A and B are shown apart, each in its own frame.
Chain A
Amino acid sequence: MEVEATPTTAVSSSGGAAQLPPPGPPAKKKRALPGMPDPDAEVIALSPKTLLATNRFVCEICNKGFQRDQNLQLHRRGHNLPWKLRQRSGKEARKRVYVCPESSCVHHDPSRALGDLTGIKKHFCRKHGEKKWKCDKCSKKYAVQSDWKAHVKTCGSREYRCDCGTLFSRRDSFITHRAFCDALAEESAKARAEAPPAEDGSSAAAVVPPPAPPPPPPPAPHHAEQRNEPETNATEPVQFAPPPPPQVPALSQTSVSAAKVSASSSSSVAGTSQSLLGGMFAPSSMASARQFPDLVGGVGRPERALPAKPPSLCLATDASSSIFSAPVSAERQQFAPPPPSPSPHMSATALLQKAAQMGATSSSSSFLRGLGLDVSSSSPGASSSGQQQHHQEAMQVSLPDTSLPQWPPRLETEPAPMLSAGLGLGLPYDSTGAQVCLPELMMGQSSLFSGKPATLPELMMRDGRAVVLQPIVQRLAPPKTFGAGRGAQTTLRCQS
């Protein structure tokens, strides 16, 4: 299956003649490429203004604008058009896909276009717009009003709590977790030892939504007083009945790791206490009401009550009681400024220029060194403390004394904060053992290349001169931070 290198093109034009669907059952539907919904679709690129314009559909007769095409059609009927004008152009038959106007966005690429206008509008608002809609209960923010509405409906409404303390918003996740959780194993062990097990309703508590928790300082006393009540009831040996609505926002911002920690530490905790809450908190002694103020107050003294868990696990200092683990953290973390990305200062051209000067290396270890990569290390940057480090590792090469002939000197003066100087690999050698100098390298005449004229450097040049580059360079936009498109550059008011 061939894959086209160029996606189905640029602005408002398509890559093929419009095709009418075959009559009757299609013999063989054209199989879309992975990730490409419809190769014949017409790609539409709208400007942000047009995209968000509320009345995109305009009646050609009276110029009245409508939000939706259906509404426009209804309206047009009212004009009593003669038969010919009633038909719309054949363009409607073709599927349309829309790209995001934000150039750094992944959906700016036609092969990742979205299939409907509403979808791309919402995406644009969500990703590149300002989040103007805020949930009262959990302070999550949304750029699209319908997202906000949908969230508010479900916020805090359903929570499933496992004996180990983890909270779930999705029932399937809860069931799966519970099946494998240590807490269940212990319960069964206890049950077998003591009494016939009660109905398994203990954790499937669809609890009443907890009252919106106040901002950080107050939760401590607030929780203490609420928890005292359930605690006094929960001292039977086998506690399977659901506790009164737990007011515990069990997850903190680092809830993903917290959940993991809670699961693993529950095994060390369990077996010694018998109440549900005790199982969550007390490492060695029976949880009692008296201990709670200690625990609650123990945000700063985690070692006593919560041996392995971060203190914020049980006593979420974060006001949000939302039990969405990953998504919530994601939301919050997205608001923090994203870490600086690599190569913000290098334009495409500059990078290619530098690449073009690199010579070939013959052995794989120097190949790696030349690239500044070390495949044996743990990751492409994951272990680093930031992209900066990763970046500097990559560019530790030194400028040789055999200078670069004739290459525009601008390269040396070009600001390149991520790189320390140029090359250290040496220039390629041709079959006679002489060093090949750059212009030849550029032109790809060297015998090093296996007969294929298409090389990266050549790709930038015509006639052995940097002709193509000059115009490119002149048109260089000021360097943009890669991936910086996330923050809203303009204020967008997004509704629905």
Chain B
Amino acid sequence: MEQELRTGGGGNLRAAHSSVCFSGGLIDGPRIQQLLLHCATALESNDVTLAQQAMWVLNNIASSQGDPSQRLTSWLLRALVARACRLCGPAGATQSAAARAPAPWERAMSVTELAEYVDLTPWHRFGFTASNGAILRAVVGSAAVHVVDLSVTRCMQWPTLIDMLSKRPGGPPALRITVPSARPAVSPQLDVSDEEIGLRLANFAKSKGVQLEFSVIKCGCPSPSPTSSPPKKQAALCQDLASVLSDRQSLGLRDGEALVVNCQSWIRHVAPGSRDAFLDADADLDSPSLATRIAGCFDFHWILFDALDTSAPRDSPRRVEHEAAVGRKIESVVGADDADGAERSESGARLAERMRRNGFAAVVFDEEAVGEVRRLLSEHATGWGVKREEDMLVLTWKGHGAVYTGAWTPN
């Protein structure tokens, strides 16, 4: 009797004759994954019965408070159920997001909470540190620097840059930071406005002797309402971004400034077709096949879940917020098959290729920047590492690539 899981027909999960048997005992990682894939296959072929059965079993295993596999499974299951409900018909299914009370991890955070959130693991700060290192090197000799910041972490990157700039031999440059008022409607959500952030940053910069000018670009369209569908939101955001980024005047570019465009986790929200312009997660999660995407999700997101398990207790609110953020991403990846409406991240290699095609050359991170990154990682749990991959830096957890960051300059 076979002990292992096997699928017939090579890697193609949609093969008609899969024969799988579970040997007795525990349901663990590979088996959960197998169940998830079966569920996905069932959904793709509109097989409600099979999907339901698989979900039933998964529901027994999943727990948002258990070990990393259980937690990740619970989010994946949520996404699958949401999708299945749409499949079964709109009648009486889920209440709209607006109607139900927000869960604890969905409510907006304060700035200090966000700072804590960002620093729970090196996931975000890895990119901050590497990018800041690259920025510092790129603006050597410039008296004025203008940063256009497209990030999901609301300026958490800049205090350390300001600090580094304040110590620059020869004195700090005059710094300008510009953010667009439109942004992807993803977590983390802050309870303060951009202007307020700008005020505090400017205050901080002043205390360090750095002159900072902060501006918010008002984007043409009003923010999409929370209840509008993802494709509409997507389209609106694209439009906003495109209009803002292509208009020199609206960006307020000035001559004589070194311009830095900082793109953190935004690329995935922009429809693949229009991604021509890098902190992003290192996974190709945009296959048209649901099963492939789910496998990709499991294979990738466990990394953060495992790291969080090492870095925070099971009931830590920041940890749950991180996991919920991943849950939302999963829901987006699982929910829609056509890539336009949802979040689709692509791996570093593909982004690099895209940048090259559009006339950018990669800027290598110097040893100092890498040293700073290593120093950062040494302050966190053992298990985090960094490696170079084709001019980019990749954050690794127990050897598995998690996040990549790169820098480019026009040819």
Contact = CB atoms under 8 A, between A and B. Distances in A.
B85 A364 contact: yes
Interface in A17-50: 31-37
B204 A368 contact: no
Contacts of A259: 112, 116
Interface string A175-200: 11111111011011000000001001
A245 interface: no
B23 A177 contact: no
Given A339-B65, A360-B52, A394-B60, A260 B113 contact: yes
A260 B113 CA distance: 6
A381 B65 contact: yes
A456 B92 CA distance: 27
Contacts of A347: 24-27
A272 interface: no
Nearest to B20: A459
Interface stretch (B179-187, B262-270, B303-311): B303-311
Contact of A175 (B112, B163, B200): B163
A338 B314 contact: yes
A3 B382 CA distance: 29
Contacts of B141: none
A264 B113 CA distance: 9
The range of chain B's interface size is 35 or more
A3 B63 contact: no
Interface stretch (B8-16, B233-241, B245-253): B8-16
B401 A32 contact: yes
B399 interface: yes
Contacts of B216: none
Contacts of B101: 378
B12 A360 contact: no
Contacts of A455: 47, 49-50
The residue in A169, A381, A449 that gathers the most chain B C-beta atoms within 10 A of its C-beta is: A381
Contacts of A482: 26-27, 61, 66-67, 70
Interface stretch (A66-74, A105-113, A231-239): A105-113
Contacts of A36: 299, 400
Contacts of A362: 48, 88-89
Interface stretch (A133-141, A212-220, A288-296, A326-334): A326-334
Contact of A34 (B31, B200, B347): B347
Interface stretch (B144-152, B279-287, B334-342, B360-368): B279-287
B57 interface: yes
A382 B24 contact: no
Contacts of A147: 382
Interface in A426-457: 428, 448-450, 452-457
A6 B34 CA distance: 9
A241 interface: no
A62 interface: no
A347 B105 CA distance: 32
A363 B92 contact: yes
Given A34-B296, A341-B70, A477 B24 contact: yes
Nearest to B312: A326
B5 A6 contact: yes
Contact of A330 (B15, B115, B300, B313): B313
Interface string A390-415: 11001000000000000000000000
B18 interface: yes
A495 interface: no
A382 B317 CA distance: 11
B69 interface: yes
A419 to B, nearest CB: 9
Nearest to B320: A382
Contacts of B95: 376
A178 B159 contact: yes
A184 B92 CA distance: 51
B22 A380 contact: no
A170 interface: yes
A365 B88 CA distance: 9
A77 to B, nearest CB: 31
Contacts of A382: 64-65, 103-105, 320
A249 interface: no
B60 to A, nearest CB: 4
Contact of B27 (A2, A348, A449): A348
Given A177-B115, A348-B27, A358-B52, A342 B60 contact: yes
Given A326-B313, A370-B52, 13 more contacts: A3-B292, A34-B282, A106-B67, A109-B28, A169-B379, A184-B203, A260-B113, A326-B120, A326-B312, A330-B316, A352-B22, A370-B56, A471-B1
10 contacts: A9-B4, A326-B120, A326-B319, A343-B27, A358-B52, A358-B56, A364-B89, A368-B85, A456-B50, A459-B20
Interface of B: 1, 4-7, 10-13, 15-31, 34, 37-38, 41, 45-50, 52-57, 59-70, 74-75, 77-78, 81-82, 84-95, 100-101, 103-105, 110-116, 118-120, 125, 128-129, 156, 158-160, 162-163, 197, 200-201, 203-204, 206-208, 282-285, 287, 291-292, 295-296, 298-300, 302-303, 306, 310-320, 347, 349, 376, 379, 381-382, 398-401
Interface of A: 1-7, 9-10, 31-37, 103-104, 106-109, 111-112, 114-116, 119, 122-123, 147, 150, 164, 166, 169-170, 172-173, 175-182, 184-185, 187-188, 197, 200, 256-257, 259-260, 263-264, 325-327, 329-330, 332-334, 338-339, 341-343, 346-349, 351-352, 354-356, 358-365, 367-368, 370-373, 375-383, 387, 390-391, 394, 418, 428, 448-450, 452-457, 459-460, 468, 471-473, 475-477, 480, 482-483, 486
